[in-house]
Chain A
Amino acid sequence: MTALPAASPKKLGLVIDLDICVGCHACAVNCKEWNSGGHAAPLTDFDAYGAKPDGVWFNRIHTFEAGEGAAGRTVHFPKSCMHCETPACVTVCPTGASFKRAADGIVLVDEDKCIGCKLCSWACPYGAREFDSQEGVMKKCTLCIDRIYNETLDERDRVPACVAACPVGARHFGDLGDEDSPVSQLVAERGGYGLMPELGYTPVNQYLPPRPSQARAGCTGATALPVDDVTPARGFLRWVDRLLSR
């Protein structure tokens, strides 16, 4: 059924910290790796080693510049399905292949029903759906349903592949429907927001804005002295220093 279920209390999604993201693409690469063998597999590639590589990815990392001069910022910007609360990608689907789960709000495609009309990808404002022209069906982020509920994995690994991969901790996964969850508190604390609110899709995923930049660098704890002026105060190093300084 492509009609939307009643709003679920549980809203699983991602919180992405734009202050921390370094734009390394590790999340996208791990997403591709996991999902090439996961629920929506394969994630077809074309001409992968040729001049015009192309393929299906669920997560893409853009980099933007905002503002001018000293006040300007370079912001790395990962983007994947927002698992919207009112996703038109679901309601436009003529076959019932696209659906939003009542239990946790995850938006999925049933590939056995999909006729590959592509209309859902037109209806998504965020470009979160990519058509697999080899399989003839639409593909999208599953929020790693095959990890987050996977009891054969260690409990700490039951997070989406992108979250598991992020080397700087810029990605958080949790229940944004629960006000007390760590992700909801992070959003409240940092003024997190959804993208393109004017379109009314009410994305579940939230972005944490970059913190204001510092006008001057603070103390980092490193010494300000040139290294060769440093004389070890005592012990073996002091003896070596004196020996070499002769």
Chain B
Amino acid sequence: MHPAYSVIFFTSASGGGYLLLALLALFGALGILPTDPVLGVVGFGVGFVAVTAGLLASTFHLGHPERAWRAFSQWRSSWLSREGVLSLATFVPAGLLAILWVFFGRTSMPLAILTILLALATVSATAMIYASLKPVQRWANGYVLPNYLLLGLASGATWLALITAIVLPAFYATIVLDWTAIIALGLAALGKVAYWRFIDRSRSASTPESATGLGAIGKVRLFAAPHTEENYLLKEMGYQVARKHALKLRLIALALGFTVPAILVFLAMLVSGWAAVALLALATIGNAIGTLTERWLFFAEARHTVTLYYGSEAA
């Protein structure tokens, strides 16, 4: 599948943004984070900016962005529509919570719970857009939903650790935030490895034989394509990354995105002040590069059944 940059940026930024909002709501409601106004402005600010930038980016690849409002109408059947509705709905409790936090120095358990649930639901809906597409076996599987949630959690937790280190230096509960980030990064890495193992060891039930129904005669192969040049189908659905590049990119994603950041966050616990901030900033940058690489691979490694009509042996 063709990796569209706007979609890659959208899923990375908004995934991290929603989970950052959820973590702020959670730690605020539990009293682990103080309802400090500066922390509120920066924390919710980064969350809202990431989420909004992601949502705007996701409209860039549309043929008619001016009609995007129509996408809120079909939530009964469409995960893309549900994602749109949920993504906006999350702004309501999260916005109210931010106002309470910043201007009144308090938090609210019901608003926090709503924020957490809607943020998780939004990211889940994004994942389900992909996980519900049966023609792409590498998407339509049980690994995709937990992957999306864990990737968002890893980014959100790393951002929160960095923001708190900047805004509240020498904060007593830093260790909770740091360990949250380390565990989230570790789980995200495990989820990704499990996903890669799965796609390497399984195949789509669809084959050139089932796609043409000619299997009774024998093995089916393409003799002549319908057209000489690439068409929309091949540009959009036929994109495939070379296997050797994919393996390198997986290592980059795993190392830069999760392993190195986890180590950096751990080291940040051993130092304090600006040294800790610098380490956490590096962790955040690494995680961002790794997450974008992983998102790109998620598309580039995915194979669509339409390629079976163009000479692919497996989808």
Chain A hits for B72, CB < 8 A: 94
Indicate whether A92 reaches chain B with its CB closer than 8 angstroms.
yes
Given contacts A61-B226, A95-B73, A127-B306, contact A71 B64 (CB under 8 A): no
- Which has the most chain A C-beta neighbours within 10 Å: B84, B208, B236? B236
Indicate whether B232 reaches chain A with its CB closer than 8 angstroms.
yes
Indicate whether B309 reaches chain A with its CB closer than 8 angstroms.
yes
Indicate whether A124 reaches chain B with its CB closer than 8 angstroms.
yes
Bound complex: CA A133 to CA B63 (Å): 7
Q: How many chain A residues touch the partner (CB < 8 A)?
A: 72
Bound complex: CA A117 to CA B72 (Å): 13
Shortest distance in angstroms between B122's beta carbon and chain A's nearest beta carbon? 14
Indicate whether B224 reaches chain A with its CB closer than 8 angstroms.
yes
Shortest distance in angstroms between A246's beta carbon and chain B's nearest beta carbon? 54
Contact A196 B232 (CB under 8 A): no
- Name the one of B64, B71, B215, B217 contacting A136, with C-beta atoms under 8 angstroms: B64
**Interface 9-mer from B47-55, B130-138, B141-149, B155-163:** B130-138
A-B contact count (CB 8 A): 206
Contact B78 A92 (CB under 8 A): yes
Contact A64 B214 (CB under 8 A): yes
- Which residue in chain A gives the minimum CB-CB distance to B210? A196
Indicate whether B70 reaches chain A with its CB closer than 8 angstroms.
yes
Bound complex: CA A132 to CA B205 (Å): 30
Bound complex: CA A2 to CA B65 (Å): 20
- Name the one of A23, A66, A115 contacting B217, with C-beta atoms under 8 angstroms: A66
Chain A hits for B297, CB < 8 A: none
Bound complex: CA A113 to CA B73 (Å): 11
Shortest distance in angstroms between B34's beta carbon and chain A's nearest beta carbon? 40
Bound complex: CA A23 to CA B222 (Å): 14
- Which has the most chain A C-beta neighbours within 10 Å: B65, B135, B220? B135
Shortest distance in angstroms between B106's beta carbon and chain A's nearest beta carbon? 37
**Interface 9-mer from A49-57, A145-153, A223-231, A237-245:** A49-57
Indicate whether B252 reaches chain A with its CB closer than 8 angstroms.
no
Chain B hits for A55, CB < 8 A: 231
Indicate whether B248 reaches chain A with its CB closer than 8 angstroms.
no
| B54-78 interface with A by 8 A CB criterion | 61-65, 67-68, 70-74, 76-78
Given contacts A125-B206, A127-B233, contact A94 B63 (CB under 8 A): no
Indicate whether A103 reaches chain B with its CB closer than 8 angstroms.
no
| B219-248 interface with A by 8 A CB criterion | 219-233, 236-237
Chain B hits for A64, CB < 8 A: 208, 212, 214, 220-223
Contact B78 A52 (CB under 8 A): no
Contact B77 A2 (CB under 8 A): yes
Contact B232 A65 (CB under 8 A): no
Size bin of chain B's contact surface = 35 or more
| A14-64 interface with B by 8 A CB criterion | 18, 23, 25, 28, 52-57, 60-64
Bound complex: CA A23 to CA B224 (Å): 10
Chain B hits for A218, CB < 8 A: none
- Name the one of A90, A115, A123 contacting B65, with C-beta atoms under 8 angstroms: A115
- Name the one of B63, B74, B228, B309 contacting A114, with C-beta atoms under 8 angstroms: B63
- Which residue in chain A gives the minimum CB-CB distance to B231? A54
Shortest distance in angstroms between A177's beta carbon and chain B's nearest beta carbon? 21
Contact B236 A67 (CB under 8 A): no
Chain B hits for A117, CB < 8 A: 61-63, 71, 80
- Name the one of B129, B213, B227 contacting A193, with C-beta atoms under 8 angstroms: B213
Contact B227 A60 (CB under 8 A): yes
Contact B133 A88 (CB under 8 A): yes
- Name the one of A66, A79, A92 contacting B132, with C-beta atoms under 8 angstroms: A92
- Which residue in chain B gives the minimum CB-CB distance to A47? B229
Chain B hits for A137, CB < 8 A: 63-64
Chain A hits for B310, CB < 8 A: 62
8 closest residue pairs by CB, A with B:
A116-B63, A67-B218, A136-B63, A127-B306, A94-B81, A60-B226, A94-B71, A66-B217
Q: A65-B221, A114-B67, A132-B63 are in contact. List 16 more A-B contacts (CB 8 A).
A: A2-B77, A52-B229, A52-B230, A63-B222, A72-B218, A75-B214, A90-B77, A94-B78, A119-B129, A124-B306, A125-B134, A126-B309, A127-B233, A130-B233, A194-B213, A199-B134
Which of A's residues lie within 8 Å of B, judged by CB? 1-4, 18, 23, 25, 28, 52-57, 60-68, 71-75, 77, 79, 88, 90-97, 113-119, 121-127, 130-133, 135-138, 193-200, 207, 209-210
Which of B's residues lie within 8 Å of A, judged by CB? 1, 61-65, 67-68, 70-74, 76-81, 84, 129, 132-136, 205-206, 208, 210-233, 236-237, 304-306, 309-310
